[in-house]
Amino acid sequence: MGNVIEIEGLRKEYRRLRRPPTVAIAGLDLAVPEGGVFGFLGPNGSGKTTTIRCMLGLVRATSGTTSVLGQPTPAALRSVLPQVGAIVETPALFPTMTGQENLRLLGAIDRIGPSRVADVLEVVGLTDRAGEKVGKYSLGMRQRLGLAAALLKDPALLVLDEPANGLDPAGIREIRELLVKLGAEGRTVFVSSHLLAEVEQTCDRVAILDRGRCILEGRVEDVLARSARPSVLVGLDDLDAGARLLAADGLAVEQADSLLRVAIDRGEAARVTKLLADHGHYVTELRPESVSLEDLFLTVTAHSNEAI
Amino acid sequence: MTLLLVEMRRAVHRRLVRWMIAADLVFCAAMGVIAFLSRVDPAYPRDHAAILLNWWQPAGGGGLIVIGTSVLVIGAAICGASVAGAEWKAGTITTVLTWSPGRVRLHLTRTASAAILSFVIGVVLLIVFMAAAVPAMLTHGSTSGTDAGWWWALTMAVVRSAGMAALVAVLAFNIATLGRNTAAALVAIAAWALFVENLVRGLRPGLARYLVGENVAMVVPWHPLDDVEFKSTPTAALVTLLVYLAIVVGIATWSFQRRDVAGS
């Protein structure tokens, strides 16, 4: 199997009385390859959750096609869903039941036994609290229980909508490590998130969605490399003098906080240090400028908004 | 079958369902205590004495079976609407659909779950209701005159009464599914029962044969209504109710199958 999720020309409009329809997804194309962790990013209202709902047959697409694990959805959902674990938005479980009862009841639908329930509770670190009613759980605990429910089917594909919502930093780290582990086991983890630093550390590939369209997609390193400007950041005692000197040598220089940003490939950084040292300016700091996923996200979504 | 059991377990776990059952049990206990403490009024000894034959009149459509059915039907409407409405409010319908994607199957299973539970709970509560009067019967009442035929008639009346509770629960469940809201469903049911039906009774008494209230009142005792401007039979009443049920369940199933499940 090549792609576990394939979306072509997906469009979703919500009709409104006497007003033009709201376009939630505007012709989305997306292919998610098998294995690893795939980050699905986008600002609020960009259509991430609607896309997930279309994939899982919860929402009927206005046009376009979706397929999951090689089968068209929603037509083949009955054969697809037993291999898919999903959290859509906040995990909604039954508050008057304990965590364990919730999982046992869900598991009973697919004839999953209690031993598997115990296993997934262990995986998400809820074994000690499994006997408490879900109504008493914190948001973070509900997220963990939702993740446990998604893992219950031992799925080939995990679709997780903001799985780190409500978790404390330690919980976020645990979830990150768990997702990486699940991806490394050969499963495909499709995770939508707005925690960009987390996505950068967790995901192998990303797609950035804005206003219902995919505006960037690929391996995280490739996407960042494509977007990175070749530049180094230079620390000096006298920034103005250094900037004049580098500019006089034909380099594009600008001040970035307490550093100089010099537009030069990192492999040529020695040229900068030599030039400055020859004129009595000694470098106190030198590092290649890296672009974070957050920078990239803000840049591309801002451009997209300007274009519209 | 597994899905049906899961849905039934989920329904009985609902806090409101448990509260309604508890309230009904308290009502039964209170009625039992009142019956036990009541003494025969010398002016009306026949009416007030704890005579089983008088209190339960399964064939005549009178007595405690009317009170029992009324309480059951109200409780069934509230619980039926709540079981559906709360799922939408809490978003648990999304969770269930990611496990059981066949919407028609899921909806019909949940409808069956509402019917079965209401019926079973209805039968049990009516038995408790009858049992609550036993101390009064034993101490200052009588069970004389009750023969096998009477007990059979009472059993059938209990079955029909619980059946009507199941019917109302299913109606409420499906109306709440259409509106995706408990309160809206209960308001709609109350408006229909209190306003529309009374309006028809007052303005077009001949059309009252089509009203839910009249038909339920014929089915439970399995007896035609007296003093009304229409002629109908219990069988016709049951068929009318089942037609209404089929229409509401059909529309709700179609709606559930077609509409988006977006947001909670």
ipTM of the complex as predicted? 0.82
B15 contacts A59? CB cut-off 8 A: no
- For residue range A196-225, list pLDDT tens digits in order: 777 888 899 999 888 888 988 889 888 777
Look up tokens 């009346």; give the residue.
B157
> What is the three-class DSSP state of A179?
helix
Tell me the residues of chain A between 204 and 243 that have a Cβ less than 8 Å away from chain B.
Answer: none
Find, in chain B, the residue whose alpha carbon is nearest to that of A52.
B262
Torsional class of A110: left (φ above 0), alpha (ψ -120 to 50), beta (otherwise): alpha
Question: In this complex, which of A95, A105, A110 lies closest to B9 when CB atoms are compared?
Answer: A105
Tell me the residues of chain A between 147 and 166 that have a Cβ less than 8 Å away from chain B.
Answer: 149
Residue B54's alpha-carbon distances to A105, B63, B65, B216, B235, in angstroms, are 47, 7, 11, 21, 26
Q: Give yes or no for B9 touching A (CB within 8 A).
A: yes
CA distance to partner chain B, nearest, from residue A222 (Å): 34
Nearest CA-CA partner of A38 in A175, A210, A158: A158
Q: Give yes or no for B94 touching A (CB within 8 A).
A: yes
> How far is Cα B120 from Cα B134, in angstroms, rounded to an integer?
22
Query: How confident is the model at residue A176, as a pLDDT?
Result: 86
> How far is Cα A218 from Cα A230, in angstroms, rounded to an integer?
20
Q: Give yes or no for B1 touching A (CB within 8 A).
A: no
> If pLDDT is split at 50, 70 and 90, which confidence band does B188 have?
very high
- For residue range B72-88, list pLDDT tens digits in order: 999 999 999 999 999 99
CB neighbours of A123 closer than 8 A, spacing ≥ 6? A148, A151, A178
Secondary structure letter of residue A180 according to DSSP: H
Beta strands at A84-87 and A157-161: parallel, antiparallel or unpaired = parallel
- For residue range A164-198, list pLDDT tens digits in order: 877 888 888 888 888 898 889 889 999 998 777 77
Structure tokens belonging to residue B40? 């025969």
- Whole-prediction pTM value? 0.85
B92 contacts A81? CB cut-off 8 A: no
A50 contacts B95? CB cut-off 8 A: no
Q: Give yes or no for B149 touching A (CB within 8 A).
A: no
Q: Is B260 exposed, middle or buried (0-12, 13-18, 19+ CB in 10 A)?
A: middle
A58 contacts B261? CB cut-off 8 A: yes
- For residue range A80-91, list pLDDT tens digits in order: 999 999 999 888
* Residue B26, pLDDT above cutoff 70: yes
CA distance to partner chain B, nearest, from residue A204 (Å): 26
Nearest CA-CA partner of B89 in A70, A90, A39: A90
A108 contacts B5? CB cut-off 8 A: yes
Q: Which residues of B fall within a CB distance of 8 Å from A78?
A: 101-102
CA distance to partner chain A, nearest, from residue B156 (Å): 35
Find, in chain A, the residue whose alpha carbon is nearest to that of B1.
A109
Question: In this complex, which of B2, B3, B92 lies closest to A93 when CB atoms are compared?
Answer: B92
Kindly report which listed range (A120-129, A170-179, B34-43) carries the lowest average pLDDT score: B34-43
- State residue A58 phi and psi, 5-degree precision: -80, -25
Q: Which residues of A fall within a CB distance of 8 Å from B5?
A: 108
Q: Is A117 exposed, middle or buried (0-12, 13-18, 19+ CB in 10 A)?
A: buried
> If pLDDT is split at 50, 70 and 90, which confidence band does A231 have?
confident
> If pLDDT is split at 50, 70 and 90, which confidence band does B42 have?
low
- For residue range B199-239, list pLDDT tens digits in order: 999 999 989 999 999 999 899 888 888 888 888 899 999 99
Nearest CA-CA partner of B71 in B110, B115, B32, B25: B25
Question: In this complex, which of B96, B261, B264 lies closest to A59 when CB atoms are compared?
Answer: B261
> How far is Cα A80 from Cα A70, in angstroms, rounded to an integer?
9
CA distance to partner chain A, nearest, from residue B93 (Å): 8
Q: Which residues of B fall within a CB distance of 8 Å from A149?
A: 95
Whether A12 and A54 have beta carbons less than 8 Å apart is answered as yes
> How far is Cα B250 from Cα B132, in angstroms, rounded to an integer?
39
Query: How confident is the model at residue A307, as a pLDDT?
Result: 46
Average pLDDT over residues A44-71: 93
Query: How confident is the model at residue A304, as a pLDDT?
Result: 56
HEC per residue, chain B? CHHHHHHHHHHHCCHHHHHHHHHHHHHHHHHHHHHHHCCCCCCCHHHHCEEHHHHEECCCCEEHHHHHHHHHHHHHHHHHHHHHHHHHHHCHHHHHHCCCCCHHHHHHHHHHHHHHHHHHHHHHHHHHHHHHCHHHHHHHEECCCCCHHHHHHHHHHHHHHHHHHHHHHHHHHHHHHHHCCHHHHHHHHHHHHHHHHHHHHHHCHHHHHHCHHHHHHHHCCCCCCCCCCCCCCHHHHHHHHHHHHHHHHHHHHHHHHHCCCCCC
Q: Give yes or no for A81 touching B (CB within 8 A).
A: yes
CA distance to partner chain A, nearest, from residue B96 (Å): 8
Q: Is the peptide bond prior to A74 cis by the omega test (within 30 degrees of 0)? A: yes
Which of A12, A104, A105 to substitute to test the interface with B, most B CBs within 10 Å? A105
Q: Which residues of B fall within a CB distance of 8 Å from A69?
A: none
* Residue B186, pLDDT above cutoff 90: yes
Q: Return the percentage of chain A with pLDDT > 70, whole number.
A: 97
* Residue A270, pLDDT above cutoff 60: yes
CA distance to partner chain B, nearest, from residue A300 (Å): 27
Query: How confident is the model at residue B1, as a pLDDT?
Result: 62
A–B interface: beta-carbon pairs under 8 A: 76
Nearest CA-CA partner of A146 in A173, A176, A175: A175
Q: Which domains does chain A have, with CATH numbers?
A: 3-218 (3.40.50.300), 229-288 (3.30.70.980)
Given CA atoms B49, B53, B59, B65 in this order, what sign does their dihedral have?
positive
> If pLDDT is split at 50, 70 and 90, which confidence band does A297 have?
confident
- Scored b (16 or more CB within 10 A) or e, A190-223 reads bbbbbbbebbbbbbbbbbbbbbbbbbbbeebeeb
Round the average pLDDT of chain A to a whole number and report it. 88
Which of B6, B19, B92, B98 to substitute to test the interface with A, most A CBs within 10 Å? B98
